[in-house]
Structure 1
Amino acid sequence: MRYDLADVFTDTPLGGNQLAVFTELTAVDATAMQAIALEMNLSETVFLRPAEAGGDVRAKLYSTVCEVDFAGHPLLGTAAVLAQHLVAEETTLRVETNVGIVPVTTRRLAEDRYTAWMRQPHPKISPVPDEQAAQLLAVLDLEQSLLPVTLYDAGIPHLYLMTDSPEAVRAIIPDFPALGRAAGESRARINVFALTGPTTAVTRMFSPYDRVPEDPACGSAAGPLAAHLVRHRLLASGVQLTLSQGEAVNRPSTLYAQAVADQDDIQSIDVGGGVCLIGSGRLRLPGPGGGAARPADRTVTA
């Protein structure tokens, strides 16, 4: 099984969020895909399949512990991996996910460097009960959130808490079991952020349920974060937000997000960043009869 490796939300190899994309249509089931994702031990691993619903390709997304319906850096990285086989300098691919088709536009900067932007699904927005918000703040050792603690869900649920300084964000020492209990039945990822300027912020995302408990760069969280700020009038609608993430896990990352919204409605959310293609390889697995895995019928190249 061939795979490509990419670093997403960075213009420098060995930064950003790591990704493996399996491009060959090798016959493996959900159990095998989950085991392979654990073997790769990255935030997410992507397995490509033929399109089924009018898109260009279907992406199956797996964390180290479960299939996920939607994620940000895997779709941007997948589009760049596929774009390397295309002639055009700029291309848009319609990637099928469990929450629908996500268009991703890539632009080639060099042989192995790309920028990629995606139009994200609109998230469902839910208030967080005061008791749960207080529990989250206590676990994070924060006195308050400057904006209401809110749950956004576009395929992966995310909770957002806003501190008054980037130093407070950087100082957090996460207690992951306690964070998992505080997130409750939603099993949401917990995002803590602070503004560093009118259109810039630093953020950290904690995922108590995965073997990668702090994400270096979370695209599925960046879009709702921009919408959250626009809804509360801390960011103008349609203005690009620049997010710094990953410093705490030695994977410096830069994410860009833009939301067109008002207090009550979200019209669009776009998230983008750099992608570095850093390598490729093959994984050898036993087949059903104990021999080598069946050769792939073909490789997905969009």
Structure 2
Amino acid sequence: MAQRRYVVLDVFTTRPLEGNPLAVVLDSEGLDTAAMQRIAGEFNLSETVFVTPAENPAHSAAVRIFTPGRELPFAGHPTVGTACCLAARRFPDLETEMDAVVALEEQIGLVRCAVRLVPGAAAYAEFDVPRLSEMGEASFGPKSAIADALGLKPHEIGFENHVSTVWSAGNPFAFVPVAGLAAMRRIKVAPQHWTEAFGPATPGIYVYCRETLFHDSSFHGRMFAPGLGVGEDPATGSAIAAFAGLVNDFDDLPNGTFTYRIEQGFEMGRPSLIDLEIEVEAGELTAARIGGHAVKVAEGVLEV
């Protein structure tokens, strides 16, 4: 039995007990896949990260990411949280603001993160998405079925030219636009309707609207993934990486760089703010970055 240090952080927030909780197991050498999955189930958070030495000594660490139900090749809030955690541990006696680079070997590939460390405050990390968003094949049922799956009325599904679509930047999500915040607040998931609404291979469902709580936000979202063991997720960075392609497609962006802030988790009492920056050239998405804060809320030792 080994002692393995771990840290719990709240990600996409500057305040403890908000945002999306993340467990980072720092001493993961010797753990096999089955053991990592069981430990992720023990933490029972939306994701748990396991850190081992990088294969390339020029990189910071290798990481594996698990939900309570399965392993993921990439996820946003684990990337942000782990980068902030490792950077803070590298500079424990920080007295002035500084920037650091953390290079994480994830299953999807190398992910480079820029981290801003501020003494006495939450760190901020931003990373280039390792895979650009692409539209996937959709098998949606009629609008009435989608509405039934979310406990809404058919006229509340969709806004402007936005319709339900599937996009992926490593993890596929079904994106469902809804009319506004009133509809978002009334969502009540009805799993018995999900196959009819979203098809037999139902991915995570990301519901979004243009109406927001804050004037400097661009979209408001909620994410449901019971198939991954996550009833609702407070903040989903990999979904926002996929969302980059959706925004460019539906909003027909001109050339340039565009920044967005997405609100999520408010209906759960876990308010989260996710930053998205995208670059567009000749109508095509050429780059995307995800950013957010992370704050440490606990640390300890696993005896496994």
After the TM superposition, which segments of 4 or more aligned residues of structure 1 sit over 4 Å from their partners?
A: 234-237
1:86 matched to 2:90: yes
1:90-128 deviation digits (Å, cap 9, x = unpaired): 111121111111111111123451011111121231242
The answer (yes or no) to whether the contact 1:199–1:240 under 8 Å persists in 2 is: no
Q: Could you tell me which residue of structure 2 aligns to residue 184 of structure 1?
A: 199
Q: Could you tell me which residue of structure 2 aligns to residue 195 of structure 1?
A: 210
Q: Could you tell me which residue of structure 2 aligns to residue 100 of structure 1?
A: 109
2:41 alignment partner, SS class: helix
1:171 matched to 2:193: no
Task: For 1:1-302, list aligned pairs within 5 A.
Answer: 1-52=4-55, 55-87=59-91, 89-111=98-120, 113-120=122-129, 121-129=131-139, 131=141, 135-140=145-150, 141-143=152-154, 144-146=157-159, 147-179=162-194, 182-196=197-211, 200-233=218-251, 237-261=256-280, 265-285=284-304
The structure-2 alpha-carbon separation of the partners of 1:26 and 1:193, relative to structure 1 and needing over 3 Å to count, comes to same
Q: How much is the aligned-residue C-alpha RMSD, in angstroms?
A: 2.3
1:168 alignment partner, SS class: helix
1:3-52 deviation digits (Å, cap 9, x = unpaired): 01100000111100000001114311111000000000000000012222
1:193 alignment partner, SS class: strand
User: How far off is 1:181 after superposition?
Assistant: 6.0
Unmatched runs of 5 consecutive residues or more in structure 2: none
Tell me, in whole angstroms, the C-alpha distance in 1 between the residues paired with 2:167 and 2:282: 14
1:227-281 deviation digits (Å, cap 9, x = unpaired): 3122222766522111111112111111111222368522111111111011200
Q: Could you tell me which residue of structure 2 aligns to residue 300 of structure 1?
A: none
Tell me, in whole angstroms, the C-alpha distance in 2 between the residues paired with 1:193 and 1:184: 19
1:251 alignment partner, SS class: coil
Which moved further from structure 2: 1-10 or 172-181? 172-181
Equivalent pairs: percent with the same residue?
28
1:226 alignment partner, SS class: helix
1:228 alignment partner, SS class: helix
Q: Could you tell me which residue of structure 2 aligns to residue 299 of structure 1?
A: none
| TM-score, normalised by the number of residues in structure 1 | 0.86
2:228 alignment partner, SS class: coil
| TM-score, normalised by the number of residues in structure 2 | 0.86
